[in-house]
Amino acid sequence: MSKGETVARVSELSTDDVAEGDHDDFIKYRELFKDFGNQVPVYAHAPIGMKHVFGMSLESRQAQTLPQRLVEIAVVATSYANRCTYCVAHHSTILADLGLDPDAISNLGAADVPGLTEIELLVRDYAIAVTERSWGIRDEMFERLSAHFSESEIVELTMRIALTGLFNTVNQALDIEMEEGLMADFTSKGLSASALEGLEDEN
């Protein structure tokens, strides 16, 4: 979110605002993603997009192709690379609930990250590589990935990273604000607010 902005750049829709044929999807994703309550009412302006991006996120989580902790490391690392404070804040709290040390979470965008296993560091590095230079990823990284993941898992991880990039871009472009209480939850888990301030300073 840009400094000084307090509301999204487009209006938030209610059930009464969306077309009748989109009511069920709107209510479904608003309830399923209630912690991300400022997103669905904005994404609902494009109901096909809303249905597919939130649907992909939901179904990927339900399929459990990859451990959720690894997925969230990839999501937070991608969001750091894209400087999306909204997604970093939300998914850092999820990652803290999954047991990753707060210092490691707050430093996922840094060169050195304390407390990550070899596989977790590899996922972090791959997420940043896909986000910043997907055209230049070296074969050596895929050899390392192949030592730990199946081809299906690598494709799933890559698509989840790319989906995060889509969320990051839409959230930032439309200046979707954080929900009330999010930062209190963030700091209550021992996460550093200065990490988010650094992202805003770079925007």
Identify whether 57 is part of a domain. no
Confidence of residue 201 (pLDDT cuts 50, 70, 90): low
Identify whether 192 is part of a domain. yes
What domain count does the chain have?
1
Section 29-49 average pLDDT: 96
pTM of the model: 0.92
Identify whether 1 is part of a domain. no
Residues 53-69 pLDDT 10s: 999 999 999 999 999 99
Identify whether 17 is part of a domain. no
- Asked if residue 4 has pLDDT above 50, the reply is no
Q: What would the two tokens of residue 203 be?
A: 């925007």
Domain hosting residue 108, numbered range: 66-202
- Asked if residue 124 has pLDDT above 60, the reply is yes
How far is CA 68 from each of CA 74, 84, 110, 135, rounded to the nearest angstrom? 10, 20, 22, 26
CATH at residue 86? 1.20.1290.10
- Asked if residue 3 has pLDDT above 80, the reply is no
Identify whether 162 is part of a domain. yes
pLDDT of residue 7: 65
Other beta carbons within 10 angstroms of residue 135's beta carbon come to: 4
Is residue 151 within a helix (H) or strand (E), and if so which, with residue range? Answer: helix 151-173
